[in-house]
Homo-oligomer: A and B are copies of this chain.
Amino acid sequence: MTDSSTPGAAERLLDTAARLFYARGVSNVGINEIIARAGVARMTLYHHFPSKDALVKAVLEARRAERAAWLARADELASTPRGRMLAVFDLLESWVQTPDFRGCPLVAASFELGGQFNPAIPYARDHITAVREFFAERAEQAGLPANVAAQLQLLLEGATVTALVQGSAAAATEARAAAAAVLGMPQGGS
């Protein structure tokens, strides 16, 4: 019986793998390092996950849920549709300043895992779709034209990548200002 009070081997493996994959890339992290850092025996990993690919897929699934929860937090930061859309960019500003920020983990995995059938693309696509739906619903509530959802998503994704490459939070701030302009909020608050 799996004990839910202690972390549990599977969960600890998942967290450790997610952290290492995000920090250094899926291809650059081996099974040996994952089990060593998780404090778990080799066979235990292969007991819970039949292969490294399966572990990667499980990590992507967890990341997908994590990003959805991140997006949902914007609703708690503001009460109006416009404010909630802008709050996403506040979350971005905080996120890019995290010490171990390395861009969107789903997009990052989509880039590293090349090949014909990239297992990360569907997860990244789902996330982008979710972002667009988030913006689209609230844009409609605010009586804004439908194309603002796409604009905001493009700004968000562009700022995420640019912040990583520039190693600076400036892009997130610029994206917030641009979003405020798109939303017709001249000042945009602070």
Are B157 and A28 in contact (CB-based, < 8 A)?
A: no
Q: Is the CB of B165 within 8 A of A124?
A: yes
Distance A102 CA – B162 CA, assembled complex (angstroms):
17
Q: Which residues of B contact A47 (CB under 8 A)?
A: none
Chain B residues with Cβ below 8 Å from A102 are: 114
The stretch of A38-46, A136-144, A166-174 that contacts the partner chain? A166-174
Interface residue ranges of A152-187 to B (CB < 8 Å): 153-159, 161-162, 164-167, 171, 174-175, 177-178
User: How many copies, total?
Assistant: 2
CB-CB under 8 A from A157, the residues of chain B are 157-158, 161-162
Taking the complex as formed, is A77 at the interface, i.e. its CB lies under 8 A from any CB of chain B? no
A154: contacting residue among B24, B107, B167, B174, CB under 8 A: B174
**Knowing A107-B111, A111-B111 touch, does A28 contact B28 (C-beta < 8 A)?**
no
Given that A128-B166, A162-B128, A177-B147 are known contacts, is A114 also in contact with B25, CB under 8 Å in the complex? Answer: yes
Given contacts A151-B174, A158-B154, A174-B150, contact A111 B113 (CB under 8 A): no
Neighbouring B residues of A111 by C-beta, 8 Å = 25, 103, 107-108, 111-112
Closest Cβ of chain B to A169, distance in Å, is 13
Check A165–B128 contact: CB distance below 8 A: yes
Measured CA separation A27–B102 after assembly (Å): 18
18 A/B residue pairs, CB under 8 Å, sorted by A: A25-B27, A25-B113, A25-B114, A27-B28, A107-B111, A107-B161, A111-B111, A111-B112, A112-B112, A128-B165, A150-B171, A150-B174, A150-B178, A154-B155, A154-B171, A154-B175, A155-B158, A158-B158
